[in-house]
Amino acid sequence: MWELFQRAAPTLVEALGVTVFLGVTAFTIGSTIGLAVALIRTSKLRLIKYVAVSYVSIFLGTPMLVQILLIYFGLPQLGIAIDPIPSGILALSLNVGAYQSENFRAGLLGVDVGQREAAYSVGMSYWQAMRRIIFPQALRIALPPIGTRFIALMKDTSLVSVITVTELTRVAERVGSATFRYLEMYLIVAAIYWILNFVLALGQATLERRLARPY
Amino acid sequence: MANSDLQIVAAGLHKRFGNLEVLKGIDLTVRRGEVIVIMGVSGSGKTTLIRCINFLEEPDEGKLVVCGLEVECGAGKDDRARRARIRQIRTRVGMVFQSFNLFPHKTALENVIEGPIVVNNVPRAEAVELGTELLERVGLADKQHEYPSRLSGGQKQRTAIARALAMKPDVVLFDEPTSALDPELHEEVLKVMRELALDGMTMVVVTHEVAFAREVADRVHFMDQGVVVEEAPAHQFFSAPEHPRARSFLRLVEHTQLDGGAV
């Protein structure tokens, strides 16, 4: 297994890079979408609220694999052809955005209304109150599910192997089929995912401790 | 309304929550330097009234002139200019809440300087100087860098008063400032409020603290079921209340405060 690992190492390092890139990019875009959706859903903007609710319902209610396949194989029929990596990022971002909107919404709703009132009472605007007072507290409440979602997303990047993106899982499959050593290759890749997520979980725990310090 | 001595003029304020009419046409005038105490049983609308003054509660009808800024209330009145005036009113009117509402992720000092820095763009160093001075004034010089979770109720409320004062307000509203505190902590908060009144601050205070009101208030407004049923100079209100509801209320409150040993 060791010599197989050594032989595949350069490819694996490259693939790990792709996996991390997919995960981090989709997490960043998805979190931005999620925050916007959460703000809309906690606001009084009636009409666009329905759009937001529908988006969340659709992307939480359908399999991510189907979403990926639709974007990569389905959209070209409408004349929209997107390359594999952008397709993957788009699908992952939209999917994680729906989850993140629920995480952020839970955080925002978890902040006591008195906080908003106190912020308003010194003359803050909605955005000032949000940025300085509400959001930092909402983030602390939402951090555990947000961290969990990041880790889940890292694993979900493996799904874009079906649209020919050479990330970790696809490399394992390719090397496996070339050498007939599927067992070792999938074990190696599983270990890499696990180490990656272990590090992420450590980061999450550190962040949680820091945000909890005043309490 | 050109009289600059009038800090708050409320005319015909109505507020409904669903089918329940909490304020049934309130008129209120507060002059510069006055201390007004609003009393009444719970549910009489006194908290709603005080929250209407800085628009934490939006009145359904009526007109408010606060610090010279006039705001009409009612359906269809909401627009950008009105919202800007409301924000301006809030920078001139401090608010002290029953449940303190300190920002838990900020230290005592950070709580105090947040408004000046974010809203008034006061340079940080200047804000810190002001904040330190205010915390000293409320007796919390040694607690500046503590988070609210490490403060007692009385210390939290004094920090909240300093936070309200940091905006250099023309008026400070107090919404039952001691009601969430253990009896032995009332006095430290009331002492700060008394000093503030002596300094000439215009104050509107919703409270059950009879001793405080008797000593500090210029006028008492007694509310019952959404109406101010009696408005009188404090000495007159406490020695010879006219309205039967006010009489029975005072008997009840004075009794429990004597028996309970609270201030």
Tens-digit pLDDT profile for residues A9-45: 899 999 999 999 999 999 999 999 999 999 999 988 8
From B44, B49, B37, B27, select the one nearest B237 (Cα to Cα): B37
Residues 6+ apart with CB under 8 A from B12: B25, B26, B27, B61, B62, B63
Residue type, B133: E
- What single-letter amino acid sits at B153? G
B251-260: pLDDT as tens digits: 988 777 765 4
B19: enclosing H helix or E strand = none
Closest CA of chain B from A72, distance in Å? 44
Ramachandran region of residue A112, left (φ > 0), alpha (ψ -120 to 50) or beta?
A: beta
Report the residue from B56, B94, B103 with minimal CB separation from A133.
Answer: B103
Nearest to A215 among B54, B101, B149 (CB): B149
To the nearest whole Å, the CA of B252 is away from the closest chain A CA by 30
What is the tens place of the pLDDT at every residue in B194-219?
Answer: 999 999 999 999 999 999 999 999 99
Which ranges in B138-226 belong to alpha helices (H)? 153-165, 186-198, 210-216
Q: Is B94's pLDDT higher than 60?
A: yes
Q: Which residues on chain B are in Cβ contact (under 8 Å) with A215?
A: 104, 147, 149
Give me the sheet containing B202-206, strands edge to edge. B93-96, B171-175, B202-206, B35-39, B219-224, B227-233
Confidence band for A7, pLDDT divided at 50, 70 and 90: confident
Question: pLDDT confidence of B168, banded at 50, 70, 90?
Answer: very high
Distance between A28 CA and the closest CA of chain B, angstroms: 25
Which CATH number fits the domain A2-211, given the four candidates 1.10.3720.10, 3.40.50.1220, 2.40.170.20, 3.60.20.10? 1.10.3720.10
CB pair distance less than 8 Å for B105 and A128: no
Mean pLDDT for A43-60 is: 93
DSSP alpha helices (H): ranges in A42-160? Answer: 46-61, 64-69, 84-110, 113-121, 126-129, 135-156
B160: chain A residues, CB-CB within 8 Å: 118
Task: Kindly report the length of chain B.
Answer: 263
d(CA B149, CA B27): 39
Average pLDDT over residues A182-186: 93
Distances (CA, A) of A23 to A18, A195, A197, B35: 8, 15, 11, 60
pLDDT at A44: 85
* Shortest Cα–Cα distance, B164 to chain A (Å): 7
Nearest to B174 by CA among B215, B210, B205: B205
**Do A172 and A165 meet the contact criterion of CB atoms below 8 Å apart?**
no
Q: Contact A123/B167, CB-based, under 8 Å?
A: yes
Residue type, B206: V
- 0.80 surpassed by pTM: yes
> CA nearest A215 in B: which residue?
B149
Task: Choose, out of B89, B105, B111, the residue to mutate when testing the contact with A (most A CBs < 10 Å).
Answer: B105
Among B101, B145, B176, the strongest candidate for a mutation testing the A interface, having the largest count of A CBs within 10 A, is: B101
- Enumerate residues 6+ apart whose C-beta is below 8 A from B160: A118, B96, B97, B100, B101, B102, B111
Average pLDDT estimate for A185-199: 96
Burial degree of B3 (CB within 10 A; 0-12, 13-18, 19+): exposed
Report, as an integer, the average pLDDT of B236-263. Answer: 81
Query: Which token pair is B47?
Result: 């908290």
Question: Is any Cβ of chain B less than 8 angstroms from the Cβ of A137?
Answer: yes
Which one of A125, A132, A214 has the shortest CB-CB distance to B104?
A214
For A86-113, what is the mean pLDDT? 97
* Contact across the interface for B167 and A118, Cβ inside 8 Å: no
Interface of B with A (CB under 8 A): 54, 56, 87-88, 90-91, 93-95, 97, 99, 101-107, 114-115, 118-120, 147-149, 160, 163-164, 166-167
- Which residues of A fall within a CB distance of 8 Å from B105? 136-137, 140, 211, 214
Residue A138 CA to residue A146 CA, distance in Å, equals: 11
pLDDT at B1: 44
A44 part of contact set with chain B, CB < 8 Å: no
Judge whether B232 and B213 are in contact, CB under 8 Å: no
Token pair of B53 as six digits? 């003054």
Q: Which residue of chain B comes nearest to A210, CA vs CA?
A: B105
Is beta strand B227-233 parallel, antiparallel or unpaired with respect to B219-224?
antiparallel
* Segment B20-68, tens digit of pLDDT: 999 999 999 999 999 999 999 988 999 999 999 999 999 999 999 999 9
Burial (CB < 10 A; 0-12, 13-18, 19+), residue A25, is: middle
Angle at B83 between CA B165 and CA B102, to 5 degrees: 35
Residue B104 has pLDDT above 50, yes or no: yes
Q: What is the mean pLDDT of chain B?
A: 94
pLDDT at B263 over 60: no
